[in-house]
Amino acid sequence: MSGSSGPSVGAPPAARYVGQSVARLEDPRLLTGRGRYVANLVPPGTGHVAFARSTRARARITRLDIKAAAALDGVWAVWTAADLNPDVGSLRGSLVLPGGGGPPDHLLADGDVRFVGDPVAVVVAVSPAVVADALELVEIDYEDQTPVLDFETAAENNNLVHPELGSNVSNSAEAWPTTVDEAMAGADTSVRAVITQNRQANAPMETRGLLAEWRAFDETLDVWISTQSPHETALAAARTLGLAVHQVRVHMGDVGGGFGQKVFLGREEFAVMVCARRLGRPMRWIEGRSENLTSSNHARRDRADVSLGATADGRFVAATIDHLEDNGAYSNGGNPGNGRMACVHLPGPYRIGSVGWRTATVYTNTCGRGAYRGPWQIESVARELIVDMLARRLEIDPLELRRRNVLRAEDLPHNTATGLTYDRISPAECLDQVAEMIDYDGFRATQREVRATVGASLAPGERAPGAGSLPGIGVAVYVEPSAIGFGALATEGATVRVEPDGSVNVYAGTGSHGQSLETTIAQIVADALGVHPGNVRFHQGHGTPYGFGTGGSRSAVIAGGAARAASAGVRAKLLRIAAELMEASPDDLDLGGGAVAVRGTPARRMTVAEVAQAAYMRPDALPDDISGGLEHTARFKAPPVTYSNAAHACTCEVDIATGEVRLLRYAVSEDCGAMINPMVVKGQIAGGVAQGIGGALLEEVSYDADGNPLTTTFADYLVPSAAEVPSFEFGHIVTLSDSPGGHKGTGEGGAIGSVPCVFNAVADALAPLGVRLTDGPLSPHRIRTAILEAAG
């Protein structure tokens, strides 16, 4: 680390609050309806913005008539590509991944449209009602063209989504040594499957939205926005509008979820800022739910052709993945491709001597792909499904097969065949713990009895007499690359300031949107300064040190590291000032309970408030080299990656007659290192698991044969309700990371492990019927179809 925390002064802080399930500091306002969400802001004179969007997947615009809309009473502006596109610079995000190659930037569709939802015109009006009326008056005529909808054939399709790019393949990469094919050919057994994952939507409960105001004679753009990254918002807004970053003030209130969707700005958000600048008034856009489900971003549409070779006794010798992902028309943030990331993580927590991979990203005339909680998770889906298929082939129990291959403490550090180095992980321990928690052996025994009674009388399509459900158990293990730290992601900054009255403010470059950073960062700072977390106020957005924001399971490690470094600097200063004032050595001071005391002489003490008051108001009483004040800014540079790991296990019943899946129990054993707040960790995992359950069983964005979205409401796009989600049980293995505090990220893992875990449980239930499941979601229809196909 490079945190400039200054010289070490006094004893290290005691962990009084870190590690405790401190009640969340953000809760009282959120529970009482006093949350500060962006939709609450409607200053006088606000213009309401809406977008006329393409109703065609692919078409040339033959006529675009905005006259009637513009003439409507209360309409302030109607603008098209011709008006706005020349005004804007690059729309790409600041994080440019290798092998990029997105489509050309343009704010509004120009001449043609490339997916249903493509914004064609922007309308600004005096009220939401008038803007809705005006949208109806924007007339667009199209000449339809054949859309590219099937991502599996897009690469070979001469019909191009973006003709100017010359190919439907946006990027590709591979590392497939010939030795892999030899190892696979030499394996006693190998299994292969083509797994396709259903297209999913982040679907945060709060849609995207912002209020932007250009202050003309101040030459300043104020932006209040629902975001995961206020600094990315400022950088991108400045680039797009041709401003200096200090002309953009990004304010962040409460954010109603994001799950990856709100890291980068979308075209609509840029357009609202452009409107604000042109009109010189506050501009408000709150995305509608149908817009969010069809035009913000989609995710997870992957195909993995995966193979796994093993010895007769089940030792993995080779694995390959040929991966393809659907990028849609325009990727969110301008960076297509999670494929490389997915492929290099294929080995997961297993010893596999030889691995080959290939990946390609293709454009289609659909909503663009964006990040969604564990964007690379197809690696876990592909690997954990093929492991279970191999287990069935070898007639070895899937848990036992995993135990034979999982990395153990003595294997670490471990270099994967794909060039990763794992250390400080505990997949074998988590696997054992989760098997115990779910009573794996007990379930298997019961399952054998049920299978004997149900399985004996099964006819295709018929409910077995007496019992129509088959029980199944699934396991999934993975290693999660949390807190990835390169380029723009590598560092976070924080400023900690003790005010003259002893109250504490901390300013971070994060974008907490449900992750509880207001509490967990306060816990870290409180321990360092010997105060109560309730005495620490947490701030994000304008005025904070640059940071990439919250996403990628990064805040605990990287922002936590920054807060730790900044508060250590303040602590050192506080102790030196107190020592000077009390004529003691800093090494003899104890800091805690809001006071500094001379060890062994409790009567000699000063409150933190008294020391702070002196720091600001009595500069002459301070040590000569301290100029006053009680504040420190530090940056933390993260290691390239901090691996966390987990094992999931769940049990289910599958109704053979209806294809309905009922989850019975769900257990997770997680190693996220030292937990800052165990309650928050549980919440992060539970929420991720629920999303994965949705991804495995329910959620599927779908289009018709013409490219019209069919899932435009929450009545069509099925996010799990409480009725579909079981209770969770959690176990923890603690292996400290090498970051200060020993933390690891845990925001995404729940959503990564749960999809293959549920898939495997369902496949296990149906194994006696010879059913093979490779495509999600496992809807009743898909399961019934698979049962009937297996029955011939």
The contact set with another protein (CB under 8 A) reads: 23-24, 26-28, 30-35, 37, 39-40, 42, 128-129, 203-207, 254-257, 259, 286, 288-290, 513-516, 679-680, 682-683, 686-691, 713-715, 719, 721-725, 727-728, 750
Residue 203 tokens, joined: 């679907």
Q: Choose between 34 and 618: whose C-beta lies nearer to another protein.
A: 34
Complete edge-to-edge strand list for the sheet that includes strand 601-607 = 589-592, 595-598, 601-607
Q: Choose between 3 and 745: whose C-beta lies nearer to another protein.
A: 745
Nearest approach, Cβ of 309 to another protein (angstroms)? 37
Nearest approach, Cβ of 486 to another protein (angstroms)? 28
Which value, in Å, is the radius of gyration of the alpha carbons in the chain?
28
Nearest approach, Cβ of 208 to another protein (angstroms)? 13
Residue 502 tokens, joined: 């002893």
Residue 763 tokens, joined: 């496949």
Cα–Cα distance measured from residue 633 to residue 160, given in angstroms and rounded to the nearest whole number: 50
Q: Choose between 278 and 662: whose C-beta lies nearer to another protein.
A: 662
Q: Choose between 292 and 365: whose C-beta lies nearer to another protein.
A: 292
Nearest approach, Cβ of 297 to another protein (angstroms)? 15
Q: Choose between 174 and 660: whose C-beta lies nearer to another protein.
A: 660
Nearest approach, Cβ of 48 to another protein (angstroms)? 11
Q: Choose between 19 and 35: whose C-beta lies nearer to another protein.
A: 35
Are 134 and 44 in contact, with CB atoms under 8 Å apart? no
Cα–Cα distance measured from residue 342 to residue 645, given in angstroms and rounded to the nearest whole number: 16
Cα–Cα distance measured from residue 160 to residue 166, given in angstroms and rounded to the nearest whole number: 7
Helix axes 749-766, 780-791, angle to 10 degrees: 40
Burial state string for 261-281 with b = 16 or more CB within 10 A and e = fewer than 16: bbbbbbbbbbbbbbbbbbbeb
Nearest approach, Cβ of 288 to another protein (angstroms)? 7
Cα–Cα distance measured from residue 414 to residue 623, given in angstroms and rounded to the nearest whole number: 50
Q: Choose between 518 and 590: whose C-beta lies nearer to another protein.
A: 518
Q: Choose between 533 and 545: whose C-beta lies nearer to another protein.
A: 533
Q: Choose between 337 and 687: whose C-beta lies nearer to another protein.
A: 687
Cα–Cα distance measured from residue 484 to residue 512, given in angstroms and rounded to the nearest whole number: 17
Nearest approach, Cβ of 292 to another protein (angstroms)? 9
Q: Choose between 21 and 159: whose C-beta lies nearer to another protein.
A: 21
Nearest approach, Cβ of 203 to another protein (angstroms)? 6
Nearest approach, Cβ of 780 to another protein (angstroms)? 18
Size (the chain), residues? 792
Tokens 């083509």 correspond to 194
Max distance between CA atoms of the chain, in angstroms, equals: 91
Are 304 and 322 in contact, with CB atoms under 8 Å apart? yes
Residue 452 tokens, joined: 């004997």
Nearest approach, Cβ of 627 to another protein (angstroms)? 41
Residue 156 tokens, joined: 């070979």
Cα–Cα distance measured from residue 141 to residue 132, given in angstroms and rounded to the nearest whole number: 19
Q: Choose between 204 and 472: whose C-beta lies nearer to another protein.
A: 204
Contact residues for 595 (Cβ-Cβ < 8 A; gap 6+): 530, 605, 606, 607, 608
Nearest approach, Cβ of 409 to another protein (angstroms)? 31
Residue 304 tokens, joined: 């993995």
Cα–Cα distance measured from residue 233 to residue 577, given in angstroms and rounded to the nearest whole number: 39
Contact residues for 111 (Cβ-Cβ < 8 A; gap 6+): 60, 61, 81
β partners of residue 589: 598
